[in-house]
A = this chain, B = another copy of it.
Amino acid sequence: MLDYTKLDKILYGGDYNPEQWPEETWPEDMRMFRLAGIDILTLNVFSWAAIQPSEDCYDFSRLDRIVELAEKNGIRICMATSTGAHPAWMAMRHPDILRTDEHGIRRKFGSRHNSCPNSPTYLKYGPALAGALAQHYRGRESIVAWHISNEYSGECYCENCEKAFRDWLKEKYGTIEAVNAAWDTAFWGHTFYGFEEIVVPDYRSEMFEGGRTTFQGISLDYRRFMSDSMLRECLLEADEIRSAVPDAVITTNFMALYKGLDYAKWAKHLDVVALDCYPSNGDPWTRTSMTHDQMRGLKNGDPYMLMEQTPSVTNWQPYNALKRPGVLRLLSWQAVAHGADTVMFFQMKQSIGACEKYHGAVISHAGSEDTRVFREIAALGTELKDLGARTLGSRTAASAAVLFDWDNWWAIENSAGPSTDIRYLTEVGRMYSALRSMNYDVDLVAPDQPLDTYRLVCAPLWYMVKGRDDENVRRYVAGGGTFVTSFFSGIVQENDLVTTGGYPGKLRDILGIWVEENDALPSGSQNSFRYGGREYPAGILCDILHLRGAQQIDEGGYTGDFYKGSPVVTVNHFGKGRAYYIATASGPEFYRSFLGDLCREQGMEPVMEVPADVEATCRRKEGARFVFLLNHKAEAVKVRIPWDCAELLKGGTYPAGSEIGLAGYDVRIFEIPDGSAGCQQV
């Protein structure tokens, strides 16, 4: 976590690249930052070429001047290591640093995310730079966090990666026989007699259209290996920093709902999680909420940093619409509402060249404070200053959890069959969004995490049940928990090998069912079923199951096709708890109805009762609870306040039962002291 002893408010600022500008322009930047209430700058994100002109030479002189300028202006620093893009000279002299793509084409110098994570050159000079920086800037009180590299992502399929993959496999499996068993290589006669026969699984070998694969075992392990390779490089940098600055707060910025890296594994090694948050035009607000809850879930509910967001537009989408007035503020507070303790932007000053020049910034090309966007930024700066430290360090106490697991994501989307429409995020989103839209706080957690504190645990599309994760759930349900999973779950173990004896494999006893067949519905066609007196759609995949102890709780099963009548929603009483199964994919109304029923049965209360598309979340801290109220639509609404509370943004206090109006995109933060009327309901 951030060092809260050093903070008296939510830090406000972002990526600042003054090296792109003449030095004489810097003071004007500082003036603008002061106007905007900026108090943190992320420096040095893309300066590798600038600060290291050759193998044996560092030049921190300009960075020194930037750091001093920030300090002189009372601004904290998030110090990046600059290893997110290597210098051109390094690529020329040491081409092993360049990645090879999934078609086997070696890249040339350019773009970013461009270093091979198993390149000897990268592994030498990346950490060395981090170490040199840490040595040079140790003892600077202004540095509140160290930001390693930038947005780790992508893949490499070069010969160094191939060799490193073999080493990783040796380390993991020990013998080639164990590899053969893990990957079921007898299939198609892929048996290996030695590690040196193993090659990278790309479009030259096992991959085919859409990134799918003919051999799931090797492809899954390569994803794990690639995530581990980047993590290894990251940790080499972290080690260098920690040896110079033992109390360094280390992070790297994660990209929302990014498939490529197992952030759950990464987060264990970081001091604080940081998020780059760029909702696309038209994303539902619950998807952004899920992004935030994933970040918070990565380190047991610890607050995280909102490291990047745009104040106005992005540049990389097909259509880069402006954030409407008020939306910058709304999304910033949404982050805080879910657990962020910083509000930061990419970028502080808009570049004049290259691909991000049309990305929004605090200081725009106009260079003027007299813009709508700057006015919104400055107003938010004032709000943040006024709020001070009140909410810092507060935590969410969700009673519902949704299991989230990168291995599942990778495995199900590698699969050849039963349907290319099965997408992990879609299925996770169905259950998450239902709960969130009813304003239940939700944690996203890994399947091996403790579940005891939850009254409801959902495991959407839990295709791959690894190790003893089923035992974790078994214990939870047996102990009285309520568990929900869905179609095509329990199918494989950790190597994507099917658990034989009948689906859903290791979950059969918990769920009390046997799934005999899975029928994939062509795009556009659907079946249906009835639950709670209403008819709902069934699509994507229809499991055909038999009750083996469970009871059917939908009304009459599928309404059509040859499996008409086959159960769709079942419950099994297992120990003191209940385990539910949803045999198909349905629409949002179903999930709201069904999960709403379960929440009510469990006596769970939403944070607040509010109109549709208004979000309410709660963070707690010794002595008080903070309820964040966010109106995600353009229209005004009225909300009844159920507790005695103070409002922290506009000020004022409200007795329980007050009704307030909330303008379009408006936000409120209520502080409810422990013991005040109605407080227990939160």
Let me know if A110 and B201 touch, CB within 8 A.
yes
Residues from 461 to 512 in A contacting B, C-beta threshold 8 Å: 495-498, 500-503
Let me know if A520 and B319 touch, CB within 8 A.
yes
Smallest CB separation, A214 vs chain B (Å): 4
Let me know if B366 and A108 touch, CB within 8 A.
no
Residues from 18 to 33 in A contacting B, C-beta threshold 8 Å: 19-20
Q: Check: A89 CB closer than 8 A to any chain B CB.
A: yes
**Chain B residue with the shortest CB-CB distance to A48:** B189
Let me know if A184 and B107 touch, CB within 8 A.
no
**Chain B residue with the shortest CB-CB distance to A414:** B355
Q: Check: A194 CB closer than 8 A to any chain B CB.
A: yes
* Residues on the B chain within 8 Å of A318, using CB: 419-421, 522-523
Smallest CB separation, A185 vs chain B (Å): 8
Let me know if A521 and B319 touch, CB within 8 A.
yes
Q: Check: A386 CB closer than 8 A to any chain B CB.
A: no
A420 to B319, CA, bound (A): 7
* Residues on the B chain within 8 Å of A82, using CB: 189
**Chain B residue with the shortest CB-CB distance to A192:** B88
A210 to B463, CA, bound (A): 35
Let me know if B322 and A105 touch, CB within 8 A.
no
Q: A183-215 interface mask toward B, CB cutoff 8 Å, 1 = contact, 0 = none?
A: 111111111111011111111111010000111
Q: A110-B214, A316-B417, A355-B216 are in contact. Are A321 and B501 (CB under 8 A)?
A: no
Q: A394-407 interface mask toward B, CB cutoff 8 Å, 1 = contact, 0 = none?
A: 00000000000000
Smallest CB separation, A299 vs chain B (Å): 29
Q: Check: A320 CB closer than 8 A to any chain B CB.
A: yes
A108 to B517, CA, bound (A): 36
Residue picked from A88, A194, A324, A368, most chain B C-beta under 10 Å: A88
Q: Check: A109 CB closer than 8 A to any chain B CB.
A: yes
Q: A110-B205, A501-B366 are in contact. Are A521 and B193 (CB under 8 A)?
A: no
Stretch from A226-234, A356-364, A575-583, A643-651 at the B interface = A356-364
**Chain B residue with the shortest CB-CB distance to A282:** B522
Partner of A199 from B110, B322, B419 at Cβ < 8 Å: B110
* Residues on the B chain within 8 Å of A516, using CB: 366, 371-372
Q: Check: A53 CB closer than 8 A to any chain B CB.
A: yes
Q: Check: A47 CB closer than 8 A to any chain B CB.
A: yes
Q: Check: A41 CB closer than 8 A to any chain B CB.
A: no
Q: Check: A285 CB closer than 8 A to any chain B CB.
A: no
A212 to B191, CA, bound (A): 38
A214 to B85, CA, bound (A): 13
Partner of A184 from B354, B420, B496 at Cβ < 8 Å: B354
Other than the given A88-B192, A319-B419, A352-B500, 20 more pairs (CB < 8 A) read A20-B184, A49-B193, A82-B189, A105-B203, A109-B205, A110-B190, A110-B199, A111-B215, A183-B354, A187-B356, A213-B355, A313-B520, A318-B419, A318-B421, A319-B520, A319-B521, A321-B519, A321-B520, A353-B496, A367-B500
26 contacts between A and B (CB under 8 A): A49-B185, A50-B186, A85-B188, A85-B189, A88-B190, A88-B198, A103-B105, A105-B204, A107-B205, A108-B204, A111-B205, A111-B215, A112-B188, A183-B354, A187-B351, A187-B353, A190-B354, A215-B354, A313-B518, A319-B523, A321-B520, A322-B517, A353-B496, A366-B500, A366-B502, A371-B517
User: 3 tightest A-B contacts by CB?
Assistant: A184-B353, A110-B205, A315-B417
